[in-house]
Amino acid sequence: MRSGVRRKEFDLRPFLEPGERILDVDIGRTVAAVYALALAISSKGFEAAVRVSMEGVETDQPGPGLVTAITEHLSRSITGLKADLFRKAVQESILDAAGVGYDLHKLNIKVGLESYLRKRSADQFLALFLSRYVSNAVWLRIQDPLREKTGSRSLRKFSVSLERFCALIVGSVVEEWRTEGKLKQLAAKKSLGNALIETIETRLKFDVANHMK
């Protein structure tokens, strides 16, 4: 198992049906929009990027409202459960990047997110966001049967292992796309977002199926 998570403590196979679709491939265009925004902030700064690409989003509102406004704008083309999972992942990744552990109401989202993107990269933010999205999507499908099988005491431990597992899978795919030059095209060619999600889905299923080998 590539993740380094202990095999006996982490096995997704009992909780996922063979051939089951885990991720929503058709959110690919919205994933590409997240990456495009991250690229714009890293090059133009937060204010200029939001002003140009997110019409109607007021940047002078408090942290919680600003995060919600950005998330709602990015997810405006999707609905239902897929939108809920997408928004949750966007919110979590923005807060993590802007300054995890800080008081949300005092946190300067604009400064924190811009600093993160300039010190690290839009690629790292994309990996952070996708890791959150994938782990949330998997967790939604397994938490109830996992609770029945292992009890509530094991849920937190398993969820931490799941986050680590998903982060390593997503990180490897994003790095491959970066070295192959595909990420350079993602912001402009948003249909590539579907292929990115499909690639992550394939890698996830492969690792789940083969983790005991």
Give tens-digit pLDDT for 85-144.
999 999 999 999 998 555 666 678 899 999 999 999 999 999 999 999 999 999 998 888
Q: Which tokens hold the place of 53? A: 């690409």
Query: Please, what sign has the CA dihedral across residues 51, 38, 96, 110?
Result: negative
Average pLDDT over all residues of the chain: 87
pLDDT on residue 82: 93
1: in domain: no
Sequence letter at residue 41: I
Residue 101: the pLDDT is: 54
Instruction: State which H helix or E strand residue 35 sits in.
Output: helix 28-44
Q: What 8-state DSSP symbol labels residue 58?
A: -
pLDDT at 161: 87
Checking if the pLDDT of 4 tops 50, the result is no
Closest CA to 49 of 39, 57, 41: 41
Residue 157 resides in a domain: yes
- Does residue 172 fall inside a structural domain? yes
Say if 2 falls within a structural domain.
no
Amino acid code (one letter) for 35? Y
pLDDT confidence of residue 143: 86
Q: Which residues span the domain enclosing 83?
A: 7-210
Residue written as tokens 């994003």? 174
Distance CA 187, CA 33 (A): 7
Going by pLDDT thresholds of 50, 70 and 90, the confidence category of residue 159 is confident
**Is the pLDDT score of 5 beyond 50?**
no
- The whole-number average pLDDT for the span 148-165 is 80
Is the confidence at residue 37, as pLDDT, over 90? yes
Q: How many CB atoms lie within 10 A of CB 4?
A: 9
pTM of model > 0.85 = yes
Q: Does 141 reside within a domain?
A: yes
Residues of the chain above pLDDT 70, percent:
89
Residue 141: closest CA among 212, 93, 208: 208
Confidence grade of residue 46 (pLDDT, cut at 50, 70, 90): very high
Position 97 scores a pLDDT of 93
What is the model's pLDDT at position 10?
Answer: 66
One-letter amino acid of 203: R
Residue 83: CA atoms inside 13 Å, Cβ hemisphere, count? 11
Number of domains in the chain: 1
Q: According to the model, what pLDDT value does residue 90 have?
A: 96
Selection from 45, 72, 43, 42 nearest residue 57 by Cα: 72
Cα separation, 70 vs 160, whole angstroms: 27
